[in-house]
């Protein structure tokens, strides 16, 4: 396969993905004006439904604009030999392969983030503000961005440096060491993400004594579940949207409730949401997801090891000398169709897990309070109640509100 043919394949994949994604989004947008299903009547009144439709349409149009801008800039970068240009800059700073890789990806990622910055700003301070969701101050926005860059440089840069080093010293067998590294990192983050990373961006406090805590402890005792770590996170610092999540396993397991969730829901509804999260733990969904993620990562690294040193990949991007970082870029695009397929599988599995967690909450606490909670959360976030089936299958990690309500009413 010649470098020119590989170049055209890369361009073809990018264009086909853009066409596919925009088509799926357009088909979903056609459903925005559908009538609310009878099972969900009462979630919105007429005024609220019109507001939710306006929110969906504005987000759709804005996302389309971003997609068009992204595909144009990406294609121009390819056609104008942008990767070769950045490669030359990186090699001008150092002759060390690891440093070259770090500088190369640093320039690419920082440049990409700067280009997306105006869109991120508009999304936060215009669209989210307009519909009453935004609570982020400009100071918080800037600090979050700086912290994100720092985390990417330290953690992302450290992992990338080690993987590049593995490639240097072992070549074709580097994938084994890279896989082991990412596996250890994934397990570590599953255990300690909430303790080490979340506090950099949000304040977490133990749930205060009171009716809510008493009811949660009573439920935990009823199902024989030891739950010492229940935290409240200041989600209202950035948005009015509510959430809750379970993290860790073993002695490090914890449930985190957004303060917005506590403000929006009744006590029994919050316990129902917590019962759903406990269901994920009881059904070992966290372990299954981690295991599958590790397996998929290993397969990806193995395929990468077969292709990354191919000189034609580097030549296709205008670089004469094969290098790990250029091969990684080309591989990422070539592998994206496979990644889309695995994403379909993981989303389908995730939706199955959500049903199982809902069933656990239904059988161990009650269906009615969870249904009420889901309806309120959907209403408060102006969720789409009528997405297209195809869009759900491709993009949704959770069943739709209608699907969850029907399942809970069985």
Q: How many Cα atoms are found within 13 Å in the side-chain-facing hemisphere of 332? A: 7
Burial track 223-245 (b if 16+ CB lie within 10 A, e otherwise): eeeebebbbbbebbebbbbbebe
Other beta carbons within 10 angstroms of residue 261's beta carbon come to: 25
Q: How many Cα atoms are found within 13 Å in the side-chain-facing hemisphere of 372? A: 13
Which residue is it, tokens 């990018």? 14
**Which distant-in-sequence residues (6+ apart) come within 8 Å of 70 by Cβ?**
none
Burial track 7-37 (b if 16+ CB lie within 10 A, e otherwise): beebbeebeebbeebeebbeebbeebeeeee
Contact indicator for 371, 408 with CB cutoff of 8 Å: yes
Structure tokens at 173: 């067998």
Contact indicator for 144, 134 with CB cutoff of 8 Å: no
Other beta carbons within 10 angstroms of residue 374's beta carbon come to: 23
Contact indicator for 83, 77 with CB cutoff of 8 Å: yes
For the beta sheet containing 204-206, the strands, ordered from the edge strand earlier in sequence to the opposite edge, are: 204-206, 230-233, 254-258, 244-247
Whether 277 is a known active-site residue: answer yes
Among 277, 340, 354, 359, the active-site one is 277
Structure tokens at 406: 């029907």
**Which distant-in-sequence residues (6+ apart) come within 8 Å of 158 by Cβ?**
none
**Which distant-in-sequence residues (6+ apart) come within 8 Å of 238 by Cβ?**
134, 135, 136, 140
Please name the residue ranges forming H helices in 80-172: 82-93, 97-122, 128-130, 138-151, 157-170
Contact indicator for 212, 233 with CB cutoff of 8 Å: no
Q: Which amino acids are annotated catalytic?
A: 277, 358
């Amino acid at each position: 396969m010649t470098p020119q043919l590989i170049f055209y394949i890369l361009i073809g994949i990018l264009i086909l993905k853009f066409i596919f994604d925009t088509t799926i989004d357009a088909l979903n947008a056609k459903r925005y004006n559908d009538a609310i299903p009878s099972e969900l009547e009462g979630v919105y009144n007429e005024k609220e439904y019109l507001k939710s439709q306006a929110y969906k349409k504005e987000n759709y149009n804005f996302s389309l604009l971003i997609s068009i801008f992204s595909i144009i800039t990406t294609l121009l970068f390819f056609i104008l030999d942008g990767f070769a240009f950045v490669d030359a800059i990186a090699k001008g700073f150092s002759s060390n392969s690891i440093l070259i890789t770090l500088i190369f990806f640093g320039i690419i990622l920082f440049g990409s983030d700067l280009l997306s910055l105006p869109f991120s700003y508009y999304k936060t301070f215009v669209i989210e503000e307009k519909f009453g969701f935004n609570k982020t101050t400009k100071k918080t926005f800037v600090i979050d961005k700086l912290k994100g860059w720092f985390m990417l440089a330290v953690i992302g840069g450290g992992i990338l440096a080690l993987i590049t080093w593995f490639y240097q010293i072992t070549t074709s067998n580097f994938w084994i060491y890279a896989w082991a590294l990412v596996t250890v990192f994934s397990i570590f983050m599953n255990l300690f993400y909430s303790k080490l990373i979340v506090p950099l961006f949000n304040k977490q406090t133990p749930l205060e004594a009171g009716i809510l805590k008493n009811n949660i402890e009573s439920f935990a005792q009823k199902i024989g579940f030891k739950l010492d770590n229940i935290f409240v996170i200041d989600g209202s610092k950035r948005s009015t949207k509510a959430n809750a999540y379970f993290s860790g396993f073993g002695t490090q397991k914890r449930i985190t409730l957004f303060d917005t969730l506590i403000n929006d829901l009744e006590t029994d509804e919050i316990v129902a949401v917590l019962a759903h999260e406990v269901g994920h733990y009881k059904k070992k969904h966290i372990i299954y997801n981690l295991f599958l993620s590790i397996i998929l990562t290993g397969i990806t690294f193995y395929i990468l090891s077969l292709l990354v040193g191919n000189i034609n990949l580097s030549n296709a991007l205008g670089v004469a000398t094969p290098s790990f970082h250029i091969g990684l870029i080309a591989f990422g695009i070539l592998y994206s169709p496979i990644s889309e397929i695995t994403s379909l599988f993981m989303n389908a599995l995730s939706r199955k897990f959500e049903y199982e967690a809902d069933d656990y909450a239904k059988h161990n606490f009650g269906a009615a309070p969870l249904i009420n909670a889901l309806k309120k959360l959907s209403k408060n976030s102006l969720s789409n109640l009528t997405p297209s089936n195809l869009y759900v299958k491709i993009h949704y990690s959770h069943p739709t509100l209608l699907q969850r309500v029907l399942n809970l009413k069985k």
